[in-house]
Chains A and B, each alone.
Chain A
């Protein structure tokens, strides 16, 4: 069965003023839609079509660059839309906050570490908060790689991701990536991140 572009749970303009409607429209329909179509084309007629995306990414070093790039692009954008909301922002609560404080010292120290990972990724890529070997870690990956892939420097289950490809922010922020990163904190859906954490913990 072919992979589908998942429906967005909010309007293109819902994340304004932090992420503008034109960026959402092009990012979702053209970029995410493009990765979805290219992934389907790359796996058509192979046994990979029977696997969930997570399983495909796990052994991606043995697969073609088209599967790595487009499979990563498909998964990463799915996650990105899920962890944002027009009612987002604020701080995490409960176990997520406890674990963030345990592994990073405080929420603010975590924010700084994550923002720094996003700002210093040279070229295109993603910053991640990952559940990995029983702890939370922050790092970044190039292009459309992610922590599920066997090629990743740190492997684990991503629970929060920030797209720092220029297409994610250039229409509104141009060269000002740090401003985009700062505004991202206003749209993070911490409940969605918490539920990803619970799923990640129960899997390991």
Chain B
């Protein structure tokens, strides 16, 4: 049990990578607090994962709403929850060449992919500071590390996540709090299933291992980063992309 006694908070928990992270973490002994905008999906998730401590919980929280995030952490605090690990997984992807991007799209992507991570981290790290230890795991993307045509705004938001990760890791290292990022490649989620067939096939052809990644491939790296197996790892961006080339 790699996460025995740890309390892990996961955003974007209702589906895809977030759901798999919750499931794997719970199997490894963690108490999981799952966060998403979708109550029904959260209910279903909670019924399907182990609850070793009997203290799993779920909350409807929109990571683009700073006041909602504050209220959520207040509830956690009142419930005596001290977070050991935060997985900032919530994110959105909307593709268009830069010329075709509306201001509201830019705002929406940045509010979720960047501001959401910053606001969640700012409050979650307080309990980690008290404990003098913890792990923050941010989900970036291969598009954030390598860039891709048609994904300028999404790619730049994910690159911002990397800058945030590296800077925060330096701030928090003296307090034994680790901050790392995972950069998934082409993973089988609702996000990628919504792509048109041609784009999907093109992406598949770029993968050295010749298969699309599974959410559990990403969740296993998150498990490594949440656990003491990575006790001396901080400020890193770990690619989970099967050798994808962009």
- Are A and B co-members of a single complex? no
